[in-house]
Structure 1
Amino acid sequence: MSGAGHVLILAGRFDPTCDLVVEELNRRAVPVFRADMAEFPLRLTLAASLSGDRWHGTLNNDRRTLDLASVRSVYYRRPTRPTFPEQMAAEARKVAETEARWGFGGLLTALPCRWLPPPGRAADAEYKPLQLRVAADAGLSVPRTLITNNADAAKGFADSLAGPLVYKPFFPVRGTVRGQTAAVYASLVGPGDLPHTDIATTAHLFQEWVPKAYEVRLTAVGGRIFAAEIHADSEAGHIDWRSDYDSHTYRVCDPPPEVATGVLRMLDRLGLPYGAFDFVVTPEGHWRFLEVNPSGQYGFIEQATGLPITAAICDYLGGTGHDEHP
């Protein structure tokens, strides 16, 4: 969908990555309506009716009014959950939140416009077992992987590799411990660590350790690819670069043609116009797929390298990108 119209941005109030997109759209004189699901229903009002095959109506907050028929695209940047009156009973709150999801959220998904990313497809793509299968099917090289809650199976997998393996969570684990922000990152597991009784408590993901020359964050937007090497100069950062951003240096790079083809094929099969991909590049120059984040951060890469990722996102939201996924 192209032409005049608003870009509806659904994001948390404090989101520096989203701010980059808003600033670029403003520079292009593209009208923007930014809201957070947390504003609904106390500070965001919805009224819409079905006329013919389209929904017509408005979204109102304390600043602006959006005509739903004017929405050309939606930038979905991890909005937070709806907020209800403090005095609302717990059962009533549960019902209201469910109704908000299926009513308000359902209406938004019914708008005939582009989404970056489509929330349902993005949610499906968060499943690492699905990612790994689709990546392999798309022709990307995937490390040997085990998912298990059986400690003996984990020990057998480690023995079969004849080398170290990596444990990583299926989904980002972040929180606060003794007043300090904490997160669970990928960690090396040695033969002496297995079997371990904690493995029986839930599903665990183990992968073979892939020797690293460096890693790559590859961001794909509407059929365009932007790749940057990440060189982590600390022990923790070498295992998982997210654990030590201060140790990084970056360098723009070009992926091998077969990797670029596999990335775009994978996004097509997942039904996504955007993906932040992580690869390990071995000392021999082989690219090994680790994961893709359908809503991944990119601002730190753009700031360090100058790669025009924000511009590509705005091209897509404005209707000039290559990919035509709804």
Structure 2
Amino acid sequence: MTGAGQVLVLAGRFDPTCDLVVEELNRRAVPVFRADMAEFPLRLTLAANLSGDRWDGTLANARRTLDLASVRSVYYRRPARPKFPEEMSPEARSIAETEARRGFGGLLAALPCRWLSPPGSAADAEYKPLQLRVAAEAGLDVPRTLITNDPQAARDFADRIGGSVVYKPFFPVRGTVPGRGQTVAVYTSLVQPQDLPHPDIATTAHLFQEWVPKAHEVRLTAVGGRIFAAEIHAASAAGRIDWRSDYDSHTYRICEPPPDVAAGVLAMLDRLGLPYGAFDFVVTPEGEWRFLEVNPSGQYGFIEQATGLPITGAICDYLEGTGG
């Protein structure tokens, strides 16, 4: 979709990555209406009528009013959940949240415009078992993987691997230590075969993968068919296991993925129904690219800042309808 129209930005109030996109759209004189789902229904008012085969109406806050018919695209980046009056009972709050998701969210989904990224497709892609299967189908090289709650199965897997394995949470785990106010996060961790079986594995689903030797890692960001890749060289022991655990130790270098990897990335996004993905790869000392994961709403600002790769511009091109 090209031509005039507003970009509806749905994101958390404090989101530096989203700020980059809004600032660039403003620089291009593209009209933007930014809101967070958390503003509905207390600070965001919706009124829409079905007129023929399309919805007409408005979305308004204390500052501005958006004509729904003018929306050319939606930038959807981790908006918070709707918030309701404190005095509502838990039962009423639960019903109201469901109605907000089905009504407000459903109306947005019915707008005839492009999304980056479609919420349903992005939510499905968050499932690591699904993305690992799709990556393999798309021709990417995926490490051997086990999902289990059986401690002995974990030990058997490590024995088959014949060396160290890694444990990964299925979704980012962050929290605060009670009584200390200390923020903690669970990152990828090395597990030695002698530490298995471990009884805690029986408490829930766990994901184990073979440990892949690293020359370095790559964050590859794909937007509307365009690919931007940067090597990540971590200088600390923790960073070499999971680079997210020690950003301060990194150096970055722009790189080009092999043609088969680039083709696999684009095929994977097509199968997942996504215009955007932040991919993580390990590059072995032999130069092989091994797929780790894709984040359908992953951060990219730190890569752009370090390398100058024009990722924000590519996102704005897509939202304007001039790219992808």
TM-score by length of 2: 0.99
Deviations 1:111-152 (A, max 9, x none): 000000000000000000000000000000000000000011
The CA distance in 2 between the partners of 1:151 and 1:39, in whole Å, is 44
Structure 1: where are the runs of 5+ without partners? none
The CA distance in 1 between the partners of 2:299 and 2:81, in whole Å, is 20
Structure 1 counterpart of 2:42: 42
1:31 aligned to 2:27?
A: no
Structure 2 counterpart of 1:243: 245
1:104 aligned to 2:71?
A: no
Structure 1 counterpart of 2:158: 158
Residue identity over aligned pairs, in percent, reads 85
Per-residue deviation, 1:89: 1.2
- Structure 1 range deviating more: 250-259 or 170-179: 170-179
Q: Which runs of 4+ in 1 moved over 3 A?
A: none
What secondary structure, in the 3-state scheme, does the structure 2 residue paired with 1:192 have?
A: helix
Deviations 1:49-99 (A, max 9, x none): 001110000001000000000000000010001111111111111111110
Structure 2 counterpart of 1:65: 65
Per-residue deviation, 1:247: 0.3
What secondary structure, in the 3-state scheme, does the structure 1 residue paired with 2:197 have?
A: coil
**CA-based RMSD:** 0.4
What secondary structure, in the 3-state scheme, does the structure 2 residue paired with 1:264 have?
A: helix
Per-residue deviation, 1:198: 0.4
Structure 2: where are the runs of 5+ without partners? none
Taking the TM superposition and a 5 Å limit, the aligned residue runs for 1:262-281 are 262-281=264-283
Structure 2 counterpart of 1:225: 227
Partner letter of residue 166 of structure 2?
V
The CA distance in 1 between the partners of 2:254 and 2:248, in whole Å, is 18
The CA distance in 1 between the partners of 2:80 and 2:288, in whole Å, is 39
Per-residue deviation, 1:239: 0.2
The CA distance in 2 between the partners of 1:84 and 1:200, in whole Å, is 37
TM-score by length of 1: 0.98
Deviations 1:285-310 (A, max 9, x none): 00000000000000000000000000
Per-residue deviation, 1:181: 1.1
